Amino acid sequence: MTRYDPIKAPATASASPGFVPREEEEELARLLLRPCFPAEAEILLIAGFDAFDRLLGLERAEGDGNGRCVIAPPIWRAILDAKPAQIVLAHNHPSGIARPSDADLATTREAARFLALLGVALSDHLIFTTEGHFSFWRAGLL
| 3-47: pLDDT as tens digits | 444 544 444 434 689 999 999 999 999 999 999 998 888 999 999
Could you tell me if 50 and 85 are in contact, meaning their C-beta atoms sit under 8 angstroms apart? Answer: yes
| 44-78: pLDDT as tens digits | 999 999 999 999 999 999 876 665 678 889 999 99
Q: Write down all domains in the chain, each with its CATH number in brackets.
A: 29-135 (3.40.140.10)
Could you tell me if 13 and 70 are in contact, meaning their C-beta atoms sit under 8 angstroms apart? Answer: no
pLDDT at position 135 over 70: yes
Mean pLDDT throughout 100-112? Answer: 92
Which residues pair with residue 60 across a beta bridge?
45
- pLDDT score for 12: 43
